[in-house]
Structure 1
Amino acid sequence: MEQQQLLDLVRQGGVVGEGGAGFPAHVKYDAQVDTVIANGCECEPLLYSDQHIMANHAAEIVSAMKAIIKATGASRGAIGIKAKYSQIGQLFEAATQDSNIDVFRMDNFYPAGDEQILVHEVTGQSIPPLGLPKDVGAVVANVATLLAVNNAINGQPVTHKIVTVTGSVAKPSVIRVPIGTSVRACVAACGNETVDDPVYVMGGPMMGKVIDDQQVFDETVISKTSGAIIVLPRGHVIHQAATLPEAIIQKRAATSCIQCRACTELCPRYLIGQEFKPHEVMRALGAGGSKPESIKQAQLCSECGACEAFSCPMGLSPRRINGLLKQKFREHRIQYDGSREIVAEQSQFRDFRKIPTSRLAMKLGIHHYMALHPEFVGDISPATVSIPLQQHIGAPSIATVQVGDEVNEGDCIGVTPEGALGAMIHASMSGKITAVGTSITIQGARREH
Structure 2
Amino acid sequence: MASSAPAAGTPEAGTPGSMGDVRRGNLALVLGRIALSGAGTHLTRAQIAAATGLTKASVSSLVLDLLDAGIVREIGLNPQGERGRPGVGLELNPARGVMGMEINVDYISAGVTDLAGNLLLQETREQDNRRVTPDSVSAALADLAAGLRDTAEAQGVRVLGGGLAVPGLVDAKAGTVITAPNLGWNAATLDLAVVLPDVPLGTTLFNEANAAALAELRYRPAGDADFLFVSGEVGVGGGLVIGSELFTGPHGHAGELGHVVVQPEGTLCSCGGTGCLETVAGQDAIFGAAGIPTQTAPGPAASGLAAGPAGYGPARSESLAQLLTALAARDVDALGAVSRAGHYLGVAVASTVRLLDIPSVVLGGHFAILGEWIRPALAESLARYAPGKVPAGNISLSAVGQAGALLGAAGSVVRSLVEAPHRLQDQAP
Mark yes or no: TM-score above 0.5.
no
Smaller-chain TM-score bracket: under 0.3
TM-score using structure 1 length: 0.27
TM-score using structure 2 length: 0.28
| Bigger CA radius of gyration | 2
